[in-house]
Amino acid sequence: MRKLFFIVMLIAAPSWAANPNILVSIKPLQLIVTSLTEGELAVDYLVSPNVSPHDYALRPSDVRAIREADLLIWVGDELEPFLSKPLSQTDTSQLALLDLPGLDLIDGDKGHEHHDHEGHHHDVDPHIWLGPSEARVIAAAITEKLISKMPETSEHLQQQLTRFNQHLDKLEQSISQQLAPVQQQGYFVFHDGYSYFERQFALNRLGEFTINPQRRPGAKSLLNIRQQLEQGKAKCIFAEPQFDGALLESISQHSGAKISMLDPLGISVNNNKDGYFELLQQLADAYSDCLSH
């Protein structure tokens, strides 16, 4: 009887042994796939979270990994322009997330007309993984792709998608309650990369030092920010571990605004079944801790 039960379990279990070789561009997408599949699928990323994907240069080993992958998941040309050419030269199956229907994309130049953007054109904010609403669309699309690669696990993957969404629903409610007391507190961020999280939780960003983190902000932008800081409008300035914070330190002097850290790429987040949720919680804690004191 025990032997029969074991055989039935083997038949019922998904065939992860033959799982596809999945590659993602950045760590947050790895966290989503790992959380979505509850840690049952191994996923590698190309760009270390210690550096920005905005100006990453592919190495020969990266190009080889792209060619060998069964599926490459990336955000899109607005975030990883270095991937456009190699993907056009390979038949690797890919999923470009910015192309997904159902995403309510935020224009990178709208909503902050009072800031001088130095003529830099940026079509959309590509940091879609930071919005719970966007994450649901992403998770559904990834599940659909995985099912196409492993049709025998369709039911199991659908169940995991349901559990992922349930976990996300609870976390979203919890973060909403956590951030409600600080929604009116003003702050600045280093670069314009948090719009989806801020929209979801109605936060009061006054502006950003730069849209493109590879470009130093112009004198007009810095003057505008310095004036608002001197007027005491901002409680916090958020830096990022991927970039030098010396500029923020110098401009925040004598303003009374605290400098804190936001990490949109999850440097310290463990890649496990709870990793993506920990990334969002870490952001919420950073906002809450700085803006409430």
Give the model's pLDDT for residue 190.
Answer: 83
What is the pTM for the complete model shown? Answer: 0.86
Q: Does 112 have pLDDT greater than 50? A: no
Q: Which of 112-121, 217-226, 267-276 has the weakest average pLDDT? A: 112-121
Q: Does 215 have pLDDT greater than 70? A: no
Mean pLDDT of 28-36: 98
**What mean pLDDT is reported for the chain?**
85
Q: Which of 3-7, 28-32, 177-181, 225-229 has the weakest average pLDDT? A: 3-7
More confident residue, 212 or 283: 283
Give the model's pLDDT for residue 95.
Answer: 98
Q: Write the DSSP string, the chain.
A: -HHHHHHHHHHHS--GGG---EEEEEHHHHHHHHHHTTT-S-EEEEE-TTS-GGG----HHHHHHHHH-SEEEE--TTT-GGGHHHHHT---EEEEGGG-TT--PPBTTSS-TTS--TT----B---GGG-HHHHHHHHHHHHHHHHHH-GGGHHHHHHHHHHHHHHHHHHHHHHHHHHGGGTT-EEEEEES--HHHHHHHT-EEEEEEESSTTSPPPHHHHHHHHHHHHTT--SEEEE-TTS--HHHHHHHTTT-PEEEE--TT-TT---STTHHHHHHHHHHHHHHHHHT-
Q: Does 14 have pLDDT greater than 60? A: no
Q: Does 114 have pLDDT greater than 50? A: no
Give the model's pLDDT for residue 225.
Answer: 76
Give the model's pLDDT for residue 211.
Answer: 55
Q: What are the chain's domains?
A: 13-173 (3.40.50.1980), 178-291 (3.40.50.1980)
Q: Does 255 have pLDDT greater than 90? A: no
- Tens of pLDDT, residue by residue over 221-234, are 777 777 777 777 78
More confident residue, 191 or 164: 164
Q: Does 115 have pLDDT greater than 60? A: no
Give the model's pLDDT for residue 257.
Answer: 79
pLDDT > 70 in the chain, percent: 82
More confident residue, 2 or 32: 32
- Tens of pLDDT, residue by residue over 52-101, are 888 799 999 999 999 999 999 999 999 999 999 999 999 999 999 999 99
Mean pLDDT of 152-167: 97
Mean pLDDT of 31-49: 96
Give the model's pLDDT for residue 251.
Answer: 67
